[in-house]
Amino acid sequence: MNSNRNDKTLAGVLAENADTLKAFEGLPAEAVEDLASALTRVEVPEGGVLIRQGDTAEAMYIVEKGLLRAAIARKGSAPAAVGLMGPGSLIGEIALLTGSRRNATVTAVEPSRLARLEAAELKEIMDRHPGLKRGFLEIARRRLRRSRWLKILSDYFGEIDEENCSFIESCFSWVHLDRGRTLFSEGDESDGLYILVHGFLHITAREPSGAVRVVGSVYRGEIVGEMAILSGEKRTATVSAVRDCDLVRLTKDDFLEINKAYPEFSLTIMRTLVKRLQESGRTGGREHGLNIALLAASPRTPLAEFAHRLYSALIPLGKTVLLNSRVLGAEFSTAADMAQTPDHDPRHVDLVAWLEDREAGHDFILYEADAELTPWTKRCLKQADQVLIVARAGDDPAPGSIEGEGLRLTEGFAATPQTLILIHPDGRTPPSDTQAWLTPRRLAGHHHLRWNKEADFERLARLVSRRAVGLVLGGGGARGMAHLGVIRALEERGIPIDLVAGTSIGAIVGGAYARGADADRLMFLCRETFEKNNPFSDVTVPVVSLLRSRKIERAARRVYGETRIEDLWTGFFCISCNLGSCDVNIHRNGPLWKAVRTSSSLPGIMVPVIHGGKVHVDGGVMNNLPGDIMRREAGIVITVDVDARENMTAGFPEYPSPWKILWSRIWPWANPVPVPTVAEIMMATIMTGCRKCADAVKEGADLSLEPPVGGIGILDFKAIARTAKEAYDYTQDMIDRLSETSPLRPFLRPKS
């Protein structure tokens, strides 16, 4: 790396450095003149290292020619590339301005020439020009924003030449949104689409009851309000900032301008938007960055070790950094207390710029809070897209002072989602009394974690990063024994099941799996319950139902015991139909046996279940394959539809009399009249009513399975082993056919 000083007149220096000095646009002219005079030239050969991660910042650079790559070293894995820098790019200015260490190693991809500004020279210039540092940091932040924006553009539209890129940039306008402010409200006239460049947004909608419910989130790099371009309709939801946000807006008029100048590119935009809409339900959206705050529920919580283990589990999923007050103390060698800088401190802008620089280069930022409510703890909570409250399961479930006071900072209309993580020493004792932890808190969810199981940390990493695998098991009576074969195949091929949901027979199998039963145990339980004990044999006077359902209830209590849904190791929910409100009821807490029994209460066949004075029946009446609900929680969704889709036909012009049918079945020498039974007619009616919904769910699934269940009757549980084996073989074949781009591919193990 060679360097030489320019000794010329000021006018000559300014003329020679005209292109380079564009990087300082917006700074006072006198300061720019001093900066120009202080520049030296540096030549870096291909493969040469300009700066190294962890070094003290001694200079900043402006690329004049060539291309350089920044990469971050990660413990236990290869360095992660975080960006390319070409002519006009600034390198290392934030570390130099804030006094922190280099956060990446920068290497020349091709022979490169750069302008260099020494730390000592910059300090002298800033001493002569008060306020210059703030201006420099603002330039750095604008550079970071634009770099992120161009990366998002390339993600959506591929490589764009410089001319088109400049024109497209001019059509978008920047919008800043402070935390808690509203981008647009339900019912507003559309003013264009937005792309979130930095920050985190909540989407809320008002229900008929008047209650406001969070219906979605917008992460960095995602589009919101795109229907303004496609249809011009009024806004159907309210979008608010969970934390400070930067967005770019494209109005309909600007879209038309793009269309006039570049009709082919405009068509590309339209195709991309339509494709995004079509795929929005398939893979949980684009991969995007997340800020995750870690808050200890009590001083006894081993938060530091928890943070390190979660950090290690997130690394395979994306570029991850763990930040805490100790890390900042080491990074800012000249200001060990930088982490505790309050908002009114002059160094606040330094810290904000440094944190934004870290966010720009990483997919996941873990903000580990202090044990007290320090300025750093407050900053962690304000920076967060989600908060993990970490607690030991055996501790006092009441919120402690730091939790109560700290989380009040995130309250409001756009409150940061909070998830409770309950740590257990091991899996020998199942979770219990979780409801005592949930009741005093407003949580988006909770997860149980076994401290001695690395797989639980890997599951948590997938859950918080929206890459969790959710398994959805549909209803279909005895045909649901195919679920056993599907689960066995998924287990053998290494595909994790992080969340499970089901309706009717799917709830029965899914509930047992979530409680801890593996494929072998599931087979044993189903054969004991349905083959040996036949819970469908307690026929009664058909006033309310054909079956008394007492044997079914006893079987459910025997299989699930007193376990509650919120105490399961694996997240679970099931569906029932609330006849009182004519709506779907999602069971996420309460006794597992009762939820499963409710979800499988075939109307007319089994006695309905009463919840809160309302009559509930089989969830298949309204949603037989709840993959749409699972999609809100899981990034990857597998659906298993056991609806045989067989056409119900009759070989006679009209129904025979009931006596003729009965006689044909009890007289040993008579041929049975082939008519559908009451149970088959009722089940077929349920299935028919929700098939369109199920078809839409399967279309949006990452893996849609339809095991061969034709010819199996609704209550025909005589061939459990055969049904499961055929489903197992079918699932193995479907796994082998997964596309190379399937999000399930990284999990796969070869067949045993």
**Is residue 62 a contact partner of residue 17, using CB atoms and an 8 Å limit?**
no
Question: Of 84, 92, 88, 141, whose CA–CA distance to 118 is shortest?
Answer: 92
Query: Residue 138 class from Cβ within 10 Å (0-12 exposed, 13-18 middle, 19+ buried)?
Result: middle
Question: Of 576, 529, 516, whose CA–CA distance to 556 is shortest?
Answer: 529
Q: What secondary structure letter does DSSP report for 531?
A: I
Output the six-digit token pair for 380: 């962690």
What is the rounded CA–CA span in Å between residue 391 and residue 388? 10
What Å distances lie between residue 386 and 15, 369, 373, 420, 518, CA to CA? 50, 13, 18, 11, 32
Is 504 an active-site residue? yes
Question: Of 465, 224, 241, 248, whose CA–CA distance to 363 is shortest?
Answer: 465
Strand partners, 690: none
What is the rounded CA–CA span in Å between residue 465 and residue 307? 15
What is the rounded CA–CA span in Å between residue 286 and residue 270? 18
Is 618 an active-site residue? yes
The count of other CB atoms within 10 Å of the CB of residue 461 is: 23
Residue in the structure block whose two tokens are 């007492």: 550
Question: Considering all CA atoms of the chain, what is the largest pairwise distance in Å, rounded to the nearest integer?
Answer: 117
Q: Please, what's the b/e burial string for 675-705 (b: 16 or more CB within 10 A of its CB; e: otherwise)?
A: bbeebbebbbebbeebeebbeebbebbbbbb
Catalytic residue among 34, 618, 641, 643: 618
User: Does an H or E element contain 572, and which?
Assistant: strand 571-578
What is the rounded CA–CA span in Å between residue 298 and residue 654? 72
Percentage helix, strand, coil for the chain under 3-state DSSP, each rounded to 5: 40, 25, 40
Catalytic residue among 89, 504, 549, 599: 504
Output the six-digit token pair for 124: 């002298």
Report the chain's terminal Cα–Cα distance, integer Å.
54
Cα–chain-centroid distance for residue 354? 26
Kindly list the catalytic residues: 504, 618
